[in-house]
Amino acid sequence: MKDIKSILQEQAVGSTLTVKGWVRTKRDTKNAIFLELNDGSCFGNLQCVFDVSNLSDQNKAALERLGTGASAAVTGTLVASPAAGQPVEVSAQSAEVIGEAPVDTYPLQKKAHSLEFLREIAHLRPRTNTFGAVARVRNQMSYAVHSFFQERGFNYVHTPIITASDCEGAGEMFQVTTLDMDAIAKAGKAVDYSKDFFGKPSFLSVSGQLNVETYCMALSKVYTFGPTFRAENSNTTRHLAEFWMIEPEFAFAELEDNMALAEDFLKYLLGWALDKCADDLDFFDKRIQKGLISMLDSVRNSKFVHMTYTDAIKQLEANKDTFEFKPYWGCDLQTEHERFLSETVVKGPLIVTDYPKEIKAFYMRLNEDGKTVRAMDVLVPRIGEIIGGSEREYRHDVLLNRIRELGLDEAAYWWYLDLRRFGTAPHSGFGLGFERLMRYVTGMENIRDVIPFPRAVKQAEF
Ligand code: 4AD
Ligand code: MG
């Protein structure tokens, strides 16, 4: 059986076929009944036309039960469509009900539903135009990630999800335990982690970076792509508690190489979306963000602006009345600052480098000035930070100093420090937030709408 995508592509007029899918709409006219079937293989529906004048009783009964949302099988002949909007349609001979969707209880009717409402029925929303398109683009972007790195000789490494070390040192981790916390609390006892599953406190990983660095110091070019978890208490349109991240790491590479890789990578992904997801992007361009396609196309052909943090702060200070949070040298950039830099100052993506060490993670290479680190964030309009990365501190003594300065548990990082004791080498990497990329590529406003089942503060339904 062919899927609707192949049928619409091949346009084998004259062939007999059976098609299965879900009814998007049913329309009755005097002479004909039109069923629009969708099977998710592409954005488009396949129109199936039943001639009323010669409808068998069986078909008539079936069509009565086939409303929006029902699953059906239709058999007929593919013909050129006389109507605008589709090249071919099915001149239908028979309809079969596979599964009904009663009109009085099925929540997704023909009318447009708000994204907020659809979030409450996340198990049904993939059947809408918007979420079908998001799912297909998401699939293509995953494929493109692997394609990009595989073409360049990077090895995919599976880093662990459970960890005992805090990569970002921000303490925003979900704990993993098999201890009976209720019983411990009731007994008024202190928690004894030696009795816990791993014999010590353990967590869901916020990043695969530290682990992937170990493979970088052996295979030179590696990347990881997996789920990461952050217990950040921020209820925004750009934060999730569970999100996917792509983290390449490459050896004998400095910050400039890292910036070039990040820029190539983003452009490759946008180009892939433009080339492989044309119908879905067309929908997003029309219905979600006007001008999306030409924006993506111009970014694909642009050169990213580079700016140091210090210069960025100058730009922001010169416009400080614009901001709720007043910028100053040393402050962490807020979303409003990041957006101003990309939307107003640069009018496109930019890479900000050399941030103060105090606002960045412990593993970043310290600059000669002793104050800033070789960090880079890629900022894009609408989203702000989409990529965060750095050249890594590869000098053992400097890294150890940093760990001590920050009061981190030096013993816990013994294996990470070993990488600097044995055959250390300059290396760099970054993390691309997959859902931020998805927001960028689709124009969708809320990060909860670009992942199938969003996990956020007080939200773990489905
Ligand atoms: O800047 P971050 O925290 O960097 C790291 O985790 C590094 N270990 C990456 C590396 O160098 N290998 O996170 C990287 C990216 C951000 O730029 C953002 O796109 C995304 O991950 N991100 C989130 N996306 C959704 N929800 C959240 N709560 C996110 N936090 C970060
Ligand atoms: Mg960051």
Average pLDDT score over residue span 262-277: 98
Per-residue pLDDT band at 165 (split at 50, 70, 90): confident
247 lines ligand 1 (CB under 6 A): yes
Residue with CA nearest ligand 1 atom 23: 433
pLDDT of 166 higher than 90: no
Tokens of 39: 């099977």
- What number does the ligand 1 atom closest to the CA of 248 have? 12
With the most atoms of ligand 1 within 8 angstroms of its CB, the residue from 157, 207, 258, 416 to mutate is: 207
- Ligand 1 contact via 209 beta carbon (within 6 Å): yes
pLDDT one-digit tens code per residue, 85-123: 889 999 999 999 999 999 999 999 878 899 999 999 999
Query: How far apart are the C-alpha atoms of 94 and 83, rounded to whole Å?
Result: 21
Encoded tokens for 69 = 């949302």
Look at ligand 1, atom 19, and give the residue with the nearest C-alpha: 433
**Residue 438 CB–ligand 1 contact under 6 Å:** no
Q: What is the pLDDT of residues 409-430, one digit of tens each?
A: 899 899 999 999 999 999 999 9
What backbone phi and psi angles, to 5 degrees, belong to 347? Answer: 55, 45
The backbone torsions φ and ψ at residue 19, rounded to the nearest 5 degrees and listed phi first, read -125, 140
CA diameter of the chain: 86
Give burial (CB, 10 Å; 0-12/13-18/19+) of 184.
Answer: middle
Q: Are strands 162-163 and 427-433 parallel, antiparallel or unpaired?
A: unpaired
CB 77 within 8 A of CB 90: yes
Give the pTM. Answer: 0.97
Domains, the chain, with CATH or none: 4-99 (2.40.50.140), 125-449 (3.30.930.10)
**Can you tell me which atom of ligand 1 is nearest the CA of 210?**
8
Q: Are 100 and 65 in contact (CB under 8 A)?
A: yes
E strand or H helix at 213: helix 209-219
Average pLDDT, the chain: 96
Nearest-CA residue for ligand 1 atom 26 is: 239
- pLDDT tops 90 at residue 84: no
Closest atom of ligand 1 to 245 CA is 21
| CB distance 213 to ligand 1 below 6 Å | no
Which of 245, 269, 437 maximizes ligand 1 atoms within 8 Å of its Cβ, making it the mutation to test the pocket? 245
CB of residue 374 inside a 6 A radius of ligand 1? no
Quick check: CB of 391 below 6 Å from ligand 1?
A: no
Ligand 2 center to residue 335 CA distance, Å? 11
Instruction: Report the alpha-carbon distance of residue 3 to residue 136 in Å, rounded.
Output: 15
Q: pLDDT value at position 41? A: 98
448 C-beta closer than 6 A to ligand 1: no
Helix (H, G, I), strand (E, B) or coil at 101: coil
Q: Are 377 and 352 in contact (CB under 8 A)?
A: yes
The pLDDT value given to residue 119? 97
Query: Which of the ligands is closest to the CA of residue 437?
Result: 1
Q: Could you tell me the distance, in angstroms and rounded to a whole number, from the CA of residue 57 to the centre of ligand 1?
A: 60
d(CA 229, CA 208): 11
Predicted local confidence at residue 110, as pLDDT: 78
Nearest CA to ligand 1 atom 24: 433
The position carrying tokens 């548990």 is 409
| Lowest-confidence segment of 101-115, 347-361, 441-455 by average pLDDT | 101-115
Torsion sign over Cα 450, 455, 460, 462: positive
Q: Which residues, by Cβ under 5 Å, contact ligand 2, an ion?
A: 388
Which string of DSSP letters, residue by residue, matches 313-363? Answer: HHHHHTTGGG-SS---TTPPPPHHHHHHIIIIIISS-EEEEEEEGGGS-TT
Q: How far is the CA of 180 from the centre of ligand 1 (A)?
A: 32
Q: What is the mean pLDDT of residues 53-66?
A: 96
pLDDT exceeds 90 at position 37: yes
Strands (E), 107-206: 155-156, 162-163, 175-176, 202-204
**pLDDT at residue 128 in the model:** 97
| Secondary structure element (H or E) that encloses residue 442, with its range | helix 434-442
Q: CB-based contacts of 29: which residues, under 8 Å, 6+ apart?
A: 52
pLDDT for the residue 47: 97
Q: Is the CB of 435 under 6 A from ligand 1?
A: yes
pLDDT digits (tens, 9 = 90+) for 357-413: 999 999 999 999 999 999 999 999 999 999 999 999 999 999 999 999 999 989 989
3-state DSSP assignment of residue 206: coil
pLDDT tens profile 12-23:
999 999 999 999
Q: Ligand 1 within 6 A of 388 CB? A: yes
Closest residue by CA, ligand 1 atom 25: 239
Would you say residue 171 has pLDDT above 80? no
Q: Ligand 1: distance of its center to the CA of 346 in Å?
A: 22
Distance in angstroms (rounded) separating the CA atoms of residues 327 and 319: 9
CA neighbor of 11 nearest in space, from 39, 35, 56, 44: 44
pLDDT of residue 168: 78
Identify the pLDDT of residue 423: 98
